[in-house]
Amino acid sequence: METTLLHSTIHVASFPSPTRSIRLKRVNSLKPTLSFTHPVIRFNFKPLNYRPVNCLSHPHINHQHHYHDHHHHHRHNDCSELSGPQKAVIKFAKATRWLDLANFLREHLQLCCCAAALFLAAAACPYLLPKPAIKPLQNAFLAVAFPLVGVSASLDALTDIAGGKVNIHVLMAFAAFASIFMGNSLEGGLLLAMFNLAHIAEEFFTSRAMVDVKELKENYPDSVLVLNVDDDNLPDVSDLAYRSVPVHDVEVGSYILVGAGEAVPVDCEVYQGTATITIEHLTGEVKPLEAKVGDRIPGGARNLDGRMILKATKTWNESTLNRIVQLTEEAQLNKPKLQRWLDEFGEQYSKVVVVLSLAIALIGPFLFKWSFIGTSVCRGSVYRALGLMVAASPCALAVAPLAYATAISSCARKGILLKGGQVLDALASCHTIAFDKTGTLTTGGLMFKAIEPIYGHWIRSKKTHDISCCIPNCEKEALAVAAAMEKGTTHPIGRAVVDHSIGKDLPSVSIDRFEYFPGRGLTATVNGIEVLKNIF
């Protein structure tokens, strides 16, 4: 989004040299302030009208999904949803401090990374060390690393089995521990380390994707200032009395005082005062809006300047910001298509693999004359069954949801809030996108583009009528005056002007008697002489 500074914005026909002084102003209304020369990019500013923000929410959201699949980083402290055998396992784990140790290992990413590094070091030993030192050092690395990833995995697997679940996580744990009995503990340890790291990364990226929702919640004040009003008659400003009320207890019809820099707690109507507000974090629109008497403002809007008395039109539960947060959190409960398929297919697949492994271990000696335990010459049925379990372990499927979490996190860093992985599934088959914006897509900030005098470069002479401007640096002087005035404000347009002036060779301008009118504009005296023209 680009800002064009107009000479008419500060209401002078021309900019004299710095030796002459003039009283200048900036008006906050975007209509006279912004002008775009690009044929496509236009700003049609209209009075602030309330338009509800529509959030996608599927009516068939399954609120009974608790995601109690016991991912490797799910705690088991809450026993309300566990079966009797599972509660017994958790009780035993608590008594032996197994649960505390598992939770400690889950919470510390560096320990899992350390385990992965030790496994990789053990794998590199044959290529770096003399033969006599390989086995002892490998065993030392494995003895330290395996518990770091195996403690939580074994507890999760045992809890799932106690609940009658045989899923991908159980199969992965079986395969990892089976590798120990096969003499390949290095491969099993790497399998668990990779699995744990994938889930840690998934949770990390998912939490990064929740930043926008947390910011929305933080924009909600815990309490508001409600004015004491009798019969809808507000007293004089000097006699205003107010009390602090929790935002959840604000009633429709209450009069609320909102100062500069504060957030609007609930959907309101401006009863008194004017101010510049922003609803960027609600709608994505970076344009500041001028709120005046009678305008409706959604809850969560932030007051950039001025002081307003607002009349609540909705309660906290019905306010725009609260509904956005609720709908977003509910939408994020919807698993992406791949995750739903993994949950359905993974459990059936894991059961088939476990049954086949048991069949090979128990029936193999009768059908193929294998020994049950086996020797160094001939592997027994147990070894073969464990080999099948390890080979069939779906490690690639188990970490597949990581792609969704990474994509959601990447979008969140760019300011795009995706309401769950199902959005990515929908985009895969999307051919046309309609953007609900004001004629253009922006980067979320105002950028200074050019200075354009609306009435041309003209000055008035005593001898002649309007003649061509004779000041070669009028644009530099215009920018210098505008930037000097805007340094005293926090308005987005002012910041764009000031940022553009940084590093440029501009004439020195002295600003005195600076006055800021919240929601309207500002005035200042330039170089000692006050000249007022077209003020508001």
Report CA dihedral (4, 5, 6, 8) to the nearest 10 degrees. Answer: 140
Catalytic residue among 230, 436, 466, 512: 436
Other C-beta atoms closer than 10 Å to the C-beta of 11 total 20
The SS3 call for residue 263 is: strand
* Owner of token pair 């000031």: 498
DSSP string, 93-112: HHHTTHHHHHHHHHH-HHHH
> Is there a contact between 493 and 290 (Cβ–Cβ < 8 Å)?
no
> Is there a contact between 10 and 25 (Cβ–Cβ < 8 Å)?
yes
Both tokens of 413, joined, read 């860093």
| C-alpha to C-alpha distance for 532 and 535, rounded to whole angstroms | 7
Which long-range contacts does 515-519 make (Cβ < 8 Å, 24+ apart)? 516/305, 516/488, 516/489, 518/260, 518/274, 518/275, 518/276, 518/305, 518/306, 518/307, 519/28, 519/273, 519/274, 519/275, 519/276, 519/290, 519/291, 519/292, 519/305, 519/306
Nearest to 305, CA basis, from 294, 290, 286, 295: 290
Both tokens of 304, joined, read 């950039």
Task: Write the CA distances from 219 to 213, 325, 394, integer angstroms.
Answer: 10, 11, 43
Helices (H), 210-336: 211-218, 280-283, 320-331
Both tokens of 419, joined, read 């309401």
Helices (H), 61-130: 84-95, 98-107, 109-128
Task: Write the CA distances from 170 to 73, 152, 176, 177, 311, integer angstroms.
Answer: 14, 12, 10, 11, 57
Asked about 222 being catalytic, the answer comes back as no
Convert 494-520 to b/e letters by CB count within 10 Å (16 or more is b).
bbbbbbbbeeeebeebebeeeebbbbb
* Owner of token pair 């496994």: 119
| C-alpha to C-alpha distance for 445 and 27, rounded to whole angstroms | 19
Residue numbers annotated as active site: 436
